[in-house]
Amino acid sequence: MSTEEKPKDYSESPINLEYFYTAGSATTRFLNQVKEGKLVGQACPKCKAVYVPPRGSCPRCGVATNIEVPLTDKGCIESFTVVHIPIPGNPIVPPYVCAMIRLDGSNISFLHLIQGVDIQEIRIGMRIQAVWKPKEEWTHSLENIKWFAPIDEPDIDVATLRFKES
Amino acid sequence: MSDHKDLLRAPFELGYTYKRSNGPVMSKFFDGLGEHKILATKSSAGKVFAPAAEFDPDTHEALNDLVEVGPGGAIESFSWIEKPQHHHLVKNPFAFALIKLDGADTSMLHMVANCNESDLSIGTRVTASWSSTQDKRITDIQFFTLET
Amino acid sequence: MKKVAIIGYAQHPILSNAGALNEVELIMPVVHHLFDELGIDQKNIDFTCSGSCDYLQGAAFAFVEGLSAIQTNPPIKESHVEMDAAWAMYESMLKIQMGDADTALIYGFGKSSPGNLDSIMSLQMDPYYISPLWPDRVSLAALQARVLLDKKIVTKEQMLSAVIEARVNSKNNKNALINDLIDESTYLEEEIISSPLNAFDCPPISDGSSAMIIASEEKAYEYTDKPILIEGIDHRIESSNLGSRDLSSSKSLQASMDHLQLNNFEFDVAELHTQFSFELPFLRSLLGLVDVPTNLSGGPLVGNVMMCAGLDAIGKTYESLKQNDLHRGLAHASSGPCLQHNMLVHLEKEQ
């Protein structure tokens, strides 16, 4: 059998599926608070770990995280990367920084953008705070936060952020 | 506890674009559609599989002996849809059908349109109706219609 | 070969739209129920396996989110099948038989409500010849129904009986989605969706989850005096070339029956994963169950959580044996269009 393929020897198979995504109760509670400009994590009743954004269950204990914990919008950078390719549909100009943001009081980090700082200055442990969009533009989304920017506070030693079993 | 009674819902569309390699047997089948021919493959035992199958499902023999079948054939089974869903390709009432094309030993799934439900029964003869665009897809046969 | 027993099964109430609950929130209660019932937790589970379909959620690797429902610290041995959780149970059973585990947790979950199940399920078929035509699961089942009716293997009266009985039996399952009874005239007046099937002939769109714990026979005795053992299990798949299949018979089921030596075997009870009304009389006839109480839970016609209903058939058979003075049960799980892929599970309760 010949191994040569004729040019264009393929079938186009586009697939389009429509869904109506429904957020679960944990996500709904979280995003309802984000709409008001507040970041509220959820804690596990057993090990007390605080999760933001919360998924409704603690992976350490396998139980529902039914305790709400209001958090500030300040934290530190747990890790980061400098991205040189643009985000489709987003006006942000590369190079830009994506970082794992560890909010004060939370036990996990989440992904967001860093702006307002020289890329060379960015480091693990750097103190940062959310820069919000104008209140009129707030929706049920973490995009209410445009990005995180550095604040003038001493760096955090991320080793101290390690979870301690209570 | 924060309010969670008002469910947050959002519509979204998941889209994938795939380009699938046809392989030597199916590329000939799709080329055949471009010439308004329906091709099948014939096993060494003489069994004819339409549309062109790459392997005999019973004996696992690799098939690459192509023969032309149809374009007419008889309905082996059908299901009439009075109210097509929005993702269905035919927008008026139509049927999905298993059609055994003349010369084939297996049946082919496709659609039967431009007729009434009462026109169809097992054994009704239909013939391929070709799409005006040729994309090397099974939809190059737009649907089957009653053989006159 | 080591024998494996089912030691627990739990089912979430079947919902037409779980809305407020996401997949993690559906899985947690059934797993916790089993753990509480058996007095164990994740540390007692040697292997975890789930069954689900990413396409139902509309996201690649969506099943990984399901793991948020269980304890994964310390890290667990885990696997997943993009199939009904009945096959997750099969994989778990193999793990125990190979000596890699003594206990296994199986869970299935699915929300059909967010997407269009008909378009999703048509994607499981041949991507060159079939999927581009978007044949929906009801139309495909209808093709088989017509063949069976034409050959008088199944009658319309049998289809009606299947629908009526399913609703009568649903009172036996507190988790069933549908429990209102209907009569013959209501059935006959119902609009046809895809001939010859109407809405009553089809399973309801369902959201939910189910879980099961299995254990080696030896381990099972730590939890019960009368373990319900898997005496035989077999699954076979037929060709995906739909036009080459004989829809009036089931080669896969016959092969399993022969392999498990179940021809002329007498069961006390059975639960079949028959999603469409005509499939019930068809399979009862093939499997020799015409005189055997079948689908006493109501079966898929009163609640059909995708990726769970096969596991549910096994779980409901287990429950029937456990709660009654019954000895032998047969469960059936299915996957693919027109009963392409079938599993048979022969359960027996120690006397």
Confidence class for position B17, pLDDT limits 50, 70, 90: confident
What amino acid occupies position C179?
N
Comparing C-alpha atoms, which of C102, C76, C106, C77 is closest to residue C91?
Answer: C106
Interchain contact, A23 vs B20, CB within 8 Å? no
pTM: 0.93
User: What's the pLDDT score for residue C224?
Assistant: 93
A contacts of C131 (beta carbons < 8 Å): 13
C contacts of B98 (beta carbons < 8 Å): 143, 242-243
Residue C195: is its pLDDT beyond 90? yes
Contacts of C196 (CB under 8 A, 6+ apart): B79, C142, C145, C146, C149, C156
Pick from C25, C32, C114: CB nearest A25: C25
Interchain contact, B16 vs A15, CB within 8 Å? yes
ipTM score here? 0.95
Pick from C127, C134, C139: CB nearest B79: C139
Specify the range with the lowest mean pLDDT, choosing from A98-107, C21-30, C149-158. C21-30
Pick from C127, C130, C134: CB nearest B87: C134
pLDDT tens-digit series, residues A49-70: 999 999 888 988 888 998 999 9
pLDDT tens-digit series, residues C56-66: 988 888 888 88
Given CA atoms A110, A113, A115, A121 in this order, what sign does their dihedral have? positive
pLDDT tens-digit series, residues A146-159: 999 999 999 999 99
Distance (Å, rounded) from C-alpha C116 to C-alpha C41? Answer: 36
What's the rounded mean pLDDT across residues C173-182? Answer: 96
User: What's the pLDDT score for residue B5?
Assistant: 58
Q: Which of A9, A25, A139, A142 is the best mutation test for B, with the most CBs of B within 10 A?
A: A9
CB atoms within 10 A of CB C54: 15
What's the rounded mean pLDDT across residues C307-316? Answer: 98
Interchain contact, A23 vs B8, CB within 8 Å? yes
Pairing of strands B38-42, B141-146: unpaired
In whole numbers, what is the pLDDT of chain A averaged over residues? 90
- For the beta sheet containing A39-43, the strands, ordered from the edge strand earlier in sequence to the opposite edge, are A50-51, A39-43, A67-71
CB of C146 within 8 A of CB of B77? yes
- CA A145 to mean position of chain CA atoms: 10
Tokens of C218: 């030896």
Q: Buried (b) or exposed (e) across C288-300, using 16+ Cβ within 10 A?
A: bbeebbbbbbbbb
CB of C30 within 8 A of CB of C211? yes
CB of C228 within 8 A of CB of C345? no
What's the rounded mean pLDDT across residues B77-104? Answer: 97
Distance (Å, rounded) from C-alpha C70 to C-alpha B126? Answer: 55
Measured CA to CA in angstroms, residue A138 lies from A36, A142, B1, B4 at distances of 8, 9, 21, 18
Q: CA nearest B78 in C: which residue?
A: C143
User: What's the pLDDT score for residue A1?
Assistant: 47
Pick from A15, A19, A27: CB nearest B12: A19
C contacts of A17 (beta carbons < 8 Å): 55, 58, 115-116, 119-120, 123
Q: Considering chain A, what percentage of its residues have pLDDT values greater than 70? A: 94
Distance (Å, rounded) from C-alpha C327 to C-alpha C329? Answer: 7
Distance (Å, rounded) from C-alpha C86 to C-alpha C89? Answer: 5
Q: Buried (b) or exposed (e) across C215-241, using 16+ Cβ within 10 A?
A: bbeebbeebbeebbbbebbbbbebbbb
Residue B118: is its pLDDT beyond 70? yes
What's the rounded mean pLDDT across residues C26-42? Answer: 95
Per-domain residue ranges of chain A: 22-71, 73-160
Per-domain residue ranges of chain B: 23-146
Residue B139: is its pLDDT beyond 50? yes
Angle in degrees, 0-180, between the axes of helices A25-35 and C23-38, rounded to the nearest 10: 140
Contacts of A137 (CB under 8 A, 6+ apart): A144
User: Does domain A73-160 correspond to CATH entry 2.40.50?
Assistant: yes
What's the rounded mean pLDDT across residues B28-57? Answer: 96
Structural domains in chain C, sorted by start: 4-116+205-220 (3.40.47.10)
* Cα dihedral value C76, A48, A101, C24, nearest 10: 50
pLDDT tens-digit series, residues C263-272: 999 999 999 9
What's the rounded mean pLDDT across residues A83-90? Answer: 86
Comparing C-alpha atoms, which of C343, C10, C290, C349 is closest to residue C173?
Answer: C10
What's the rounded mean pLDDT across residues A62-80? Answer: 94
User: What's the pLDDT score for residue B16?
Assistant: 82
Contacts of C198 (CB under 8 A, 6+ apart): C187, C190, C191, C192
Residue C188: is its pLDDT beyond 60? yes
Residue C85: is its pLDDT beyond 80? yes
Measured CA to CA in angstroms, residue B124 lies from B72, B73, B145, C251 at distances of 10, 8, 10, 27
Residue C88: is its pLDDT beyond 50? yes
Q: What is the 3-state secondary structure (H, E, C) of chain A?
A: CCCCCCCCCEEECCEEEEEEEECCHHHHHHHHHHHCCCEEEEECCCCCCEECCCCCECCCCCCECCEEEEECCEEEEEEEEEECCCCCCCCCCCCEEEEEEEECCCCCCEEEEECCCCHHHCCCCCEEEEEECCHHHCCCCHHHEEEEEECCCCCCCHHHHCCCCC
In whole numbers, what is the pLDDT of chain C averaged over residues? 96
